[in-house]
Amino acid sequence: MAALPDMTEMQIRRYARHIVLAEIGGIGQARLIAARVLVVGAGGLGAPLLQYLAAAGIGTLGVIDHDRVDLSNLQRQVIHRTVDIGTAKVASARRALADINPEVAVVAHDERLDAANAGRIVADYDIVADGSDNFATRYLLNDICYRLKKTLVSAAILRFDGQISTYKAWQGDGHPCLRCIFPQAPSEDAVPSCAQAGVLGALAGTLGALQATEVVKEILGIGRSLSGRLVMYDALAGTFDEVAIAKRADCPTCGAQ
């Protein structure tokens, strides 16, 4: 393991509220500064997720997105401004993160994640946070992260509902992957997009903040991981529910075969 960086006086002041937490302390904050996290999507989930990870002091933040800021994004994608309309989302995100914490190195991947580039991009990071909006990308990330032994924190939102889990089946010990829950993607008709069905703007903030919390926990090795659990949030009811996820022996990604 590489030596942890020494913190400057300014860093100690910036991260003081982390450092006084017994579960984090100076060593934990140094681990956050040394960490490399890839955020997939600079949209509804990625916006709050990136903001909180930058504020937490994650040393290197990668963000991949090939879209440009649209007026309809601004209802929930709070990292972007009205003046950013027409700008590449990764460029807008990098500008915003520099304002929050100029010490964070932001790597902008202005490209669409696919089978040709996923391995190359993911390999350069310690942990991946999935804020994508389609099953094809989620499955691709699940499979690549399993193959490259990268922990994946994944969330999804639609209408007034959200869900989140962590996948690290590569560790063994019964940890499941995404395909253990959803062996096959539902049809496009079964799961409408946010553009078709709508989404509560603040819901993206709730789930994005939860993702940031789980990423920090995984980097520091503190608390109880969401691996093996799917947490579901119903914004209208104001409730959180949890279901256990079992590893499938016949899983096409992490199963025995």
Catalytic site positions: 194
Give the span between the Cα atoms of 203 and 78, in whole angstroms: 12
Instruction: Report the distance separating Cα 124 and Cα 122, nearest Å.
Output: 5
Whole-number CA gyration radius for the chain = 18
Nearest to 45 by CA among 202, 214, 163, 208: 208
- C-alpha angle with apex 216: 144 to 206, nearest 5 degrees? 90
Axis-axis angle for helices 46-56, 89-100 (nearest 10): 30
Distant-in-sequence, close-in-space partners of 34: CB < 8 Å, separation ≥ 6: 2, 4, 5, 59
Distance CA 244, CA 64 (A): 30
